[in-house]
Structure 1
Amino acid sequence: MTSPSLRPIHRPDPLELLDIRRLTSMLSPFDHGRRLHLEAPVHLHDDDTYAVHFLHLLQCAAGFGIRVDWTAASAPACDPHTISHLPPPTNPAPSSAPADVRRWQEKHHYGACHYRKGPGFYLLRDARNGAVSRLRITGDDRCRALEAHLRPFPPTGLPPDTAPMTSALHRRGLLLTIGTWHLAAPHRLRNWPVPYTTL
């Protein structure tokens, strides 16, 4: 019988992709201290749409401090450094791409790339390269433009007035690209680690 601290899910096929989106939307602070356990190995190179939504799931889980137990069946579809702030696979590196998976596991640091939201502004912090860079976004229009990037979107999925934000995130290395899909790299940090000086 499954432990109540685990929430098992299976990798959906493309027709069942909404299942993983629904699971993402279900994550909340009430899940703090819980774990997501994915029973089937995850393929991050076979389906760009699935891969980018899976990374979004990892973002949401990381933001709430939820542990994700999952195994990788293939190398990530992007540079492991760009996603080193997200929960890495817990299995030994697969023989198909040991270097990329090990690099993700070795470089992982919780909260290395996150954002905080205040009244009328966002604060983005990126320490994936070791040095810390910060970006403050203010103004209703710019905040709305950033918010449009906090979920996976295809190239034609955003209104034209968000293009400057897309370019700004890309220049700063804050935009993940999976095939033709994009997603802002930082995740919202809702649960601070103890001690908080680890960030």
Structure 2
Amino acid sequence: MRRHLTVAPPAPAGERVRELYRGGIRSVALDEPISLRSPEPRDLHALDFVRVATARGLLVRWHLRTGRRADPELVARDLTHLQPPASLDGRGSQERLREWHRRFYIGRCVWRRGPGFVQIRDRRDGVLQLFDLSEDDYVRAVLQLEQQRAAEVDPQVLDAMRDERLVLRLGDLDWWAPALIDRWPVPSMVL
């Protein structure tokens, strides 16, 4: 049984990651680097794949290209809930990559569904920020963002989620950062 595979990230990522995991694959490599210099939908699909694979426990070897003008918070904070990439470009990249490895753990920024609500737990800042969303516009927005349908989200809701950095503005595109967790890896009190 093959345990490693090189893939082009599909859209949507969730079913593909579950299919790979059920098939015995425990390690994948993305076929191209993810570029946030001028991101395209393919780059966001690849980030989705890394996010879903991270939550599932599937090891992903990937490379990140941010460019010189990248927001320093993007790597220092906003993406550290994803498995660290194998390589990162730019000034100080080795130090930023070491810090990413030091800060990463599964469950750092996750969301889960309940009946009529969504709960988000975000520890990317080092402290727990808990969001309990029960308003229909917000619950619907999370589901739309998870499916990369940001254009359908109420603009005020989208702005509120951007303000909390749950939605990251990458070039001209919006990307939903929290990972859907379908089972807690440790008791929920810890997360």
| TM-score strictly above 0.5 | yes
Q: Check 1:137–1:90 CA distance in 2 against 1; reply closer, same or farther (3 A cut).
A: same
Supply the distance in 2 between the matched residues of 1:166 and 1:31 (Cα, whole angstroms): 32
Counterpart of 1:27 in 2: which secondary structure?
helix
Asked whether 1:65 is paired with 2:57, we answer yes
Supply the distance in 2 between the matched residues of 1:60 and 1:73 (Cα, whole angstroms): 17
| Alignment correspondent of 2:3 | 5
Counterpart of 1:87 in 2: which secondary structure?
coil
Asked whether 1:180 is paired with 2:172, we answer yes
AA matched with 1:21: A
Q: Check 1:22–1:183 CA distance in 2 against 1; reply closer, same or farther (3 A cut).
A: closer
| Alignment correspondent of 2:113 | 117
Q: Check 1:47–1:165 CA distance in 2 against 1; reply closer, same or farther (3 A cut).
A: same
Counterpart of 1:173 in 2: which secondary structure?
coil
AA matched with 1:86: L
| Alignment correspondent of 2:152 | 158
Q: What CA RMSD, in Å, does the superposition of the two structures yield over aligned residues?
A: 2.9
Q: Check 1:158–1:87 CA distance in 2 against 1; reply closer, same or farther (3 A cut).
A: same
Q: Check 1:23–1:120 CA distance in 2 against 1; reply closer, same or farther (3 A cut).
A: closer
1:137-180 Cα offsets, whole Å, 9 max, x none, are 114333112211223356xx225xx1122122122121112111
1:11-39 Cα offsets, whole Å, 9 max, x none, are xxxxxxxx622555322277267424216
Matches within 5 A, 1:97-108: 97-108=93-104
Contact (CA 8 Å) 1:124, 1:135: kept in 2 or not?
Answer: yes
Q: 2:185 aligns with which of 180, 186, 193?
A: 193
Q: Check 1:45–1:183 CA distance in 2 against 1; reply closer, same or farther (3 A cut).
A: closer
Contact (CA 8 Å) 2:34, 2:62: kept in 1 or not?
Answer: no
Q: CA deviation at 1:188?
A: 0.5
1:42-72 Cα offsets, whole Å, 9 max, x none, are 242455013222111111112222221x142
Q: Check 1:99–1:74 CA distance in 2 against 1; reply closer, same or farther (3 A cut).
A: farther
Asked whether 1:144 is paired with 2:136, we answer no
Q: CA deviation at 1:127?
A: 0.8
Q: Check 1:4–1:119 CA distance in 2 against 1; reply closer, same or farther (3 A cut).
A: same
Contact (CA 8 Å) 2:34, 2:64: kept in 1 or not?
Answer: yes
Q: CA deviation at 1:41?
A: 5.4
Q: CA deviation at 1:83?
A: 0.8
| Alignment correspondent of 1:15 | none
Q: Structure 1 length as normaliser, TM-score?
A: 0.75
AA matched with 1:8: T
Q: Check 1:109–1:148 CA distance in 2 against 1; reply closer, same or farther (3 A cut).
A: same
Percent of pairs identical after alignment? 22
Q: Check 1:129–1:120 CA distance in 2 against 1; reply closer, same or farther (3 A cut).
A: same
Counterpart of 1:48 in 2: which secondary structure?
coil
Supply the distance in 2 between the matched residues of 1:99 and 1:59 (Cα, whole angstroms): 22
Number of equivalent positions: 183
Q: Check 1:95–1:48 CA distance in 2 against 1; reply closer, same or farther (3 A cut).
A: closer
